[in-house]
Amino acid sequence: MATIKDVAQLAGVSISTVSKYLNGGHVRPEKLEPIRSAIVQLDYRVNPIARSLKIRRSHSVGILLPSLAAPFFSSVFMASDKVLREQGYHSMISCYYADHGLERDYLSYLLGVGVDGLIYVPENLTAEEFQELTLHRDVPVVMVDRMIPGVDADAVLTENKKSSCNAVSRLIEKGHRRIALVGGPNSVLTAKERLAGYLQALELYNILYDGALVFSGELSFAFGHQSFLELMNTGTPPTAVFSTNHDITMGVVTAAREQGLRIPEDVEIFGYDSVNICAVMTPPLPVVYQPEQEIGRTAAAYLIERLEGYAGASRKTRLPCEMIL
């Protein structure tokens, strides 16, 4: 690869002049052409590594998330990517596949590798771990979909509790009394909040809480599947299941079908996200829909503000959700 030095030599000017040419400084008109031609001839491109080292900016932002496959994240980050790109930033995604060790590793890696900012969907990190990792690095972080309580960083979330309460309330109004919940682990704030919404709805309608109907665990197909089977094996199985994650919902639905149960006649299921997929089913599965585009855009906007120097207090935004019936 040709360097700026080669270009300078070939064009018969100094390195600084080429640099100015490259970065929009003032260069005498008659020197423009030789430089341009040298660049083309040598197929020169600036080395972003060297540039980053010098200017301490890479114009790239990292996105760290627990799972690639979730359609929810895909939509969210497509939206943030667009906003970021319009402002001249490239986004680089890293996935930690819901693994705690990997989550630490990648966070640490991204913080150090030179991205200007970070959009982060946390899962298992404690506030202490996060503080330690981010200490002395001034890389702004915006959390999305989840947040680590006690951490001072911008966060874009949705109204998990309220939306869940609404969803469960609807099931109750349709006559259900034994409603199960299958959701993520309590270490994930979002899962905890959705559980809280479920409990609130029960309370609202004076329905006794039954611990045997609540399953909190891995955000996976397997967990949803297994939980459903266990639910059905108790003496008095639920008549409805509120499933608060895409993969889990797939597992729950599969298990139900395997058992020969009709949805919703034999057991009603209410999901979260995955609107497209749930619409595929007959009849369509009702779901809570989170405003994915807006989440992504907001997160990107927050990050860009920080990158441009905004240093105000951290913002925690809650976006409202819709029920798709």
Partner DNA sequence: TTGAAAGCGATACCAG
Partner DNA sequence: CTGGTATCGCTTTCAA
Answer yes or no whether residue 90 interacts with its own copies by CB under 8 A: yes
CB atoms inside a 10 Å sphere around CB 138: 9
Q: Which is nearer to DNA, 1 or 311 (CB)?
A: 1
What residues between 272 and 291 interact with its own copies by CB under 8 A?
276-277, 279-282
b/e per residue 13-24 (b: at least 16 CB within 10 A): beeebbbbbbee
Q: Minimum distance from CB of 125 to DNA (Å)?
A: 24
Token pair belonging to 134? 């981010």
Single out the residue of 15, 22, 27, 92 in contact with its own copies (rule: CB under 8 A). Answer: 92
Q: Specify the DSSP class assigned to residue 150.
A: T
b/e per residue 94-119 (b: at least 16 CB within 10 A): bbbebeeebbbebbeebbeebbbbbb
Work out what residue 27 binds among its own copies, DNA, none; the CB cut-off runs from 5 to 8 Å by kind.
DNA
Contact between 249 and 243 (Cβ < 8 Å):
yes
Single out the residue of 15, 113, 212, 229 in contact with its own copies (rule: CB under 8 A). Answer: 113
Contact between 21 and 40 (Cβ < 8 Å):
no
Note the residues at the interface with DNA (CB under 7 A): 1, 3-5, 13-17, 19-20, 22-23, 25-28, 31, 44-47, 50-51, 53-55
Nearest C-alpha neighbor of 18 from the set 56, 47, 32: 32
Answer yes or no whether residue 101 interacts with its own copies by CB under 8 A: no
Q: What angle (nearest 5°) sits at the alpha carbon of residue 158, between those of residues 207 and 286?
A: 55
CA 270 – CA 253 distance, rounded (Å): 10
Answer yes or no whether residue 245 interacts with its own copies by CB under 8 A: no
Q: Which is nearer to DNA, 6 or 230 (CB)?
A: 6
b/e per residue 50-70 (b: at least 16 CB within 10 A): ebbeeeeebbbbbbbbbbeeb
Answer yes or no whether residue 97 interacts with its own copies by CB under 8 A: yes
Token pair belonging to 264? 């919703």
CA 79 – CA 209 distance, rounded (Å): 39
Q: Which is nearer to DNA, 52 or 317 (CB)?
A: 52
Phi, psi dihedral angles at 298 (to 5 degrees) = -65, -45
Work out what residue 74 binds among its own copies, DNA, none; the CB cut-off runs from 5 to 8 Å by kind.
its own copies
Single out the residue of 12, 25, 112, 150 in contact with its own copies (rule: CB under 8 A). Answer: 112
Q: Minimum distance from CB of 158 to its own copies (Å)?
A: 19
Task: Give the interface segment with its own copies, choosing from 28-36, 49-57, 155-163, 165-173 (CB under 8 A).
Answer: 49-57
Q: Which is nearer to its own copies, 204 or 281 (CB)?
A: 281
What residues between 247 and 266 interact with its own copies by CB under 8 A?
250, 253-254, 257
Token pair belonging to 42? 């040598």
What residues between 131 and 190 interact with its own copies by CB under 8 A?
135-137
Give me the residues that bind its own copies (CB under 8 A), please: 1-2, 43, 45-50, 52-53, 58, 60, 62, 67-71, 73-75, 77-78, 81, 90-95, 97, 106, 109, 112-114, 135-137, 221, 250, 253-254, 257, 276-277, 279-282
